[in-house]
Structure 1
């Protein structure tokens, strides 16, 4: 059967296999037995021919050789040409089915002394070649332990064993890095990294898994030897990513920015050994040390030079001709990633007079779409972006550093750092990953209206004079014990203003309802926008309450001098069950701020805490301005005044009263004479009273105690 198989052409074998597929198991068994027998026969034949000392290159036949018109010399040449290819494939095949030409060749060499030199060359060649695996190029020595290599190699005799073991490890890692470089170099530096706003990293990692490794690396003491330090850092690292992480953490916690070297070039050093010895370095020293340690750990790493928007940067500043910063890119998981250990370690402040260690996680494997915000490399391909950003686009980009993303912010509009205002007004919208608190200032003044959004913020700035302004925006996570952090910087160019829009100095940002008011128990606002425009000076603002609260309100304005009476008598609060209404009647036309305060019901403290405010505008004069009646302490929850709402009543006039007051037995009007009100079935006390010629008129109530009367409301009588 084997003989028949050998006579068939390749296409005939394939055709036979297709038709005989059901018999394939049986066919393979028989074929293997025949092949084994034939191999034994050919081995005996080969030994016999070797004893006769005949020329092996012309007389030895190949196993399973079929008849052909091709000459022996042609076949030998063909075998020589195909031999390297067969050798490269050997690591992918089962040894039981490997072609045994090499076995025969080794037997021939061992039987002929004139072939000894050729055998030595072949062995050296085989040792120098690397076998290709799915994990890259691996040297044959990688399968041997350092101890075995040192023992077998006489050049290590008489030397320190531990040192030589470490040297072997370094050589192996360097070979690995070289092979990675060869593989990565074929791909280049250009990658597309689309950002879906789900992670700040270019590689999906779980920082919690680094917790123990970070603690280990951060506590490692400085070492005078780069080799020893690299060996210690990767001691507990099991992957290339963990090696990079350990090196990053150590540098960020041990290398101080060299302030003197920054100011004096003569004192500056970027040599890794010098940076390690002194514990100080400028950005080139950080990146050089990082690259050196990565090389010793077998990680492919490059230093990148370029321009960074760091300390001293001003919005709209042009990039100078020379680089002012350096950082790194590492090759992990078959692609490049960016990091900046200088900015990860801390900051120098705007005056660059003192370095402060303050670890910044943002600059470790930062997503290229975010890294480009403040890093512009000299070589465009090191952006790792497609399409690449131009220098002009980078210069015009709004300045948002690591704090922007560390606070959970995602995007901002506009994205250009310089804004040209329209009639003195500009609008900024920020999107965040969660609810964030914000504040801002424009040249130190809050000339704007800021509204907190769910996962974001909207800001409208109103400038009062033409000129150049700097807008700074700060953010803070809710409940944080830290201060606000600067996250955005804009330059505003204003050539004309609209003076009809003025922001009162008494306005407190943020303005209007937000997630902050919801957290305090106020939902479903009647006016979700922070600005209310009224033509008659009147408006009613309402909320649904989810907590038991007491409310207080006041008005403020920069247009007129507000008296105590004006601050309190122009807002009237009604709180019925879970609905609170704030009726507003402005003293006169102008711009006002309504401030809302709350107090938990049953609180032992008599003070109220600030909740929010509205901006109320009335630009039309109105003739029927009035104030509300004065309220006394018994007026509270579930009290409602339907009429009269005017706090000043005409003299000698019959006035109808209708109001709701819970838990009272009697209600009467104290005027020219005492007039009781009647309780109706609808829950309101009603009646009519003549104002007479008195100066004041009171609404009084009686509870369960018949001898106790209380003032509830006070009205004034006009003359």
Structure 2
């Protein structure tokens, strides 16, 4: 079997079974893999690593077929492969066509039928601009109304306006149905008449977001439909009574009972195995694999990957379904991209291919059953991804290698264009959730990256699914965490970027995690890079943060202007030790901020927040150079509590400290609630025993005092001049929004 995903692991965890521990019958190691889930906090401590185990296959059972037989193994019967792959049924229907016949066929296909069902003559077609009015007179729109000349565009203007070549509304010949694709007008920039060009302006322009939404709806609906189709089959398999487990035959007879197709039978086999067979960790770690035949696996209820594959094979054969056990290489538990597979490497995994619905399809029972955690314990976790997995997806981490013959084994990739072992080794290992969510590397497609100094990795989220992401960065194989040298952010709805600055000339691992559900706290393993640093980066560390930087989706759901999303860079820079951020809002957003240096905490003294009905302004001061973390916390718009919730984190690089870095005054939450804007003084530290003018603005405050002295009102402005007390004291501006003599503190100043 194989076990699944990893984050940071101890050095001992990476150790596989030694060669001298394998019995003479072993032909491959066995592995199971599935993305780990990271539940908040320490990612590395709560994640799992795919486990590699040994596949037991007897030599006599796995004899290489003769050349005549091997030709039939995949390409015989009714076909071979799905999507990209070819079925023999299709091949048998393809006839040799001469160039002349091909040209004849193309010409015939281009001709439009006449209204009487015969091929039209030249007179039946519109051949010039002079006949445009005739065309207009004869055409009607979808409502049966005649089209005016304005509805048509001359070929001379073709490149100036977006048009649809498939809308005209004319009725098809011999039918009472209007078709959007019959017109007979010549297509611009060609002398060929097209049955689908009329020049009318397109009424719909689909943008990328609309396509994504439609595709997502279809995908979700397909998943729901599929779940409904399998609901009864799954329940039947899960609820199998114990008395049918006495033999493989009796269990098979029970599982296929009521199945309406071979696909449903195969589904029942997959569900039963995934829910009832455990991975034999003692056998894996001890090197003694015992019996992996179907009867032994059923009797003991556990096995390694070869046992999973053999039991599934036995079910299918009894049910009369064509099946194959495939051995090869997998990027499982002990996989390291820095140690590529070679033709001399022993195969380390086994899975199945089954012939249903007129094509071969993959079944991976081992990886569908669960994973091993860092303690080496099997964690049962069903994964539907490995049921009838698309060949283009399985080749990411499964490479068939039968009888040490790469060419012979290529057909079991079930791909129209098989890849080589070298390409398999180079390609990054993507975990199942990454493939399901269509998240792929954009800048670095290979699993090993050689770095001189720094590297910026770009990941493409093609459907914009990701809600949150995080990463783990550690030395390999020691496991020492160095996330303070990584910077993860989402710069658009479709792109995630990770900057890595390895501090030493060593090997590292960078693991990316994510989720698409806002209510889900755990994150799924997406991909892992091996980083080989040949020259250390000469940069200061960042404030340590494993989750992505920038404003979260929650901020834009709670009052920040949604059109500004991704317009505020996650990395801000200051060249003079000061920074002002102006954020647009749809309401007054009560907020507080926290500023921290990478090496120490500054608290609230060097950050000052001012809020209004449609803005939030943040002023910052930096006492030294380096990187800072600005954390923004706000009240939720429809929250049930008065707590402040984390809405965003910005990374700020200070290249030069402020000349005079005096802290800001301390502003209370009431100052934001009353929409107060402090005009003067803006320094939080004031000299003792001196006259100081205090001035602020608020459309809400009705009474205000400074150091217990009444402040004068002039419109929305309040002011007062007072003498500060001695050193060590403080001065507070207070106010209220009623005529009562009860005041709330607004701004506090320290006296030095």
* TM-score of the aligned structures, taking structure 2 as reference length: 0.62
The CA deviation string for residues 409-438 of structure 1, in whole angstroms up to 9 with x for no partner, is 532242211111231334242526523322
Gaps of 5+ in 1: 1-177
Matched-pair contact (CA < 8 Å) for 2:313–2:352: yes
The CA deviation string for residues 128-184 of structure 1, in whole angstroms up to 9 with x for no partner, is xxxxxxxxxxxxxxxxxxxxxxxxxxxxxxxxxxxxxxxxxxxxxxxxxx9xx7995
Matched-pair contact (CA < 8 Å) for 1:191–1:386: no
Aligned pair count reads 526
Q: Distance in 2 between matches of 1:502 and 1:262?
A: 41
SS of alignment partner, residue 213 of structure 1: helix
Q: 1:650 to 1:350 in 2, by over 3 A?
A: closer
The CA deviation string for residues 372-392 of structure 1, in whole angstroms up to 9 with x for no partner, is 111100111111123211111
Q: 1:264 to 1:556 in 2, by over 3 A?
A: closer
Larger radius of gyration: 1
The answer for the alignment partner of 2:155 in structure 1 is none
Alignment of 1:357 with 2:375, yes or no, is: no
Q: 1:226 to 1:500 in 2, by over 3 A?
A: closer
Alignment of 1:335 with 2:359, yes or no, is: yes
Equivalent of 2:712, from 677, 688, 696?
Answer: 677
The CA deviation string for residues 516-553 of structure 1, in whole angstroms up to 9 with x for no partner, is 43244433369621111012222222334457642111
Q: Distance in 2 between matches of 1:314 and 1:370?
A: 20
Q: 1:224 to 1:200 in 2, by over 3 A?
A: farther
Alignment of 1:215 with 2:255, yes or no, is: no
RMSD between superposed Cα atoms in Å: 3.8
Alignment of 1:425 with 2:455, yes or no, is: yes
Matched-pair contact (CA < 8 Å) for 2:82–2:390: no
* Stretch deviating more after TM superposition (488-497 or 307-316): 307-316
Query: Equivalent residues in 2 for 1:60-459 (5 A)?
Result: 184-185=75-76, 189=80, 193=84, 206-221=226-241, 222-259=244-281, 261-262=283-284, 268-319=290-341, 321-349=345-373, 354-378=377-401, 379-405=409-435, 408=437, 410-413=439-442, 414-431=444-461, 433=463, 434-443=465-474, 444-447=481-484, 448-452=486-490, 454=493, 457-459=496-498
Per-residue deviation, 1:215: 0.6
Q: Distance in 2 between matches of 1:374 and 1:711?
A: 62
Q: 1:337 to 1:651 in 2, by over 3 A?
A: same
Gaps of 5+ in 2: 1-68, 86-211, 402-408, 475-480
Q: Distance in 2 between matches of 1:347 and 1:701?
A: 61
Per-residue deviation, 1:668: 5.6
* Stretch deviating more after TM superposition (423-432 or 693-702): 693-702
Q: Distance in 2 between matches of 1:267 and 1:676?
A: 86
Per-residue deviation, 1:605: 5.9
SS of alignment partner, residue 543 of structure 2: coil
Q: Distance in 2 between matches of 1:356 and 1:622?
A: 54
The answer for the alignment partner of 1:713 in structure 2 is 747
Q: Distance in 1 between matches of 2:687 and 2:635?
A: 36
Q: 1:632 to 1:610 in 2, by over 3 A?
A: closer
SS of alignment partner, residue 386 of structure 1: coil
SS of alignment partner, residue 366 of structure 2: helix
Matched-pair contact (CA < 8 Å) for 2:573–2:654: yes
The answer for the alignment partner of 1:503 in structure 2 is 542
Q: Distance in 2 between matches of 1:382 and 1:429?
A: 30
Q: Distance in 2 between matches of 1:207 and 1:426?
A: 40
* Stretch deviating more after TM superposition (372-381 or 329-338): 329-338
Per-residue deviation, 1:704: 4.1
Alignment of 1:536 with 2:576, yes or no, is: yes
Per-residue deviation, 1:492: 0.6
Equivalent of 1:492, from 516, 525, 531?
Answer: 531
Per-residue deviation, 1:603: 7.6
The CA deviation string for residues 625-674 of structure 1, in whole angstroms up to 9 with x for no partner, is 33322335642221112344233467899876653223333446559xx6
Per-residue deviation, 1:323: 1.7
Alignment of 1:594 with 2:630, yes or no, is: yes
Q: 1:356 to 1:664 in 2, by over 3 A?
A: closer
Q: Distance in 2 between matches of 1:598 and 1:420?
A: 41
Matched-pair contact (CA < 8 Å) for 2:540–2:627: no
Q: Distance in 1 between matches of 2:248 and 2:511?
A: 43
The answer for the alignment partner of 1:473 in structure 2 is 512
The answer for the alignment partner of 2:31 in structure 1 is none
Query: Equivalent residues in 2 for 1:624-663 (5 A)?
Result: 624-632=660-668, 634-637=670-673, 638-648=675-685, 658-663=695-700
Matched-pair contact (CA < 8 Å) for 2:361–2:388: yes
Matched-pair contact (CA < 8 Å) for 2:552–2:647: no
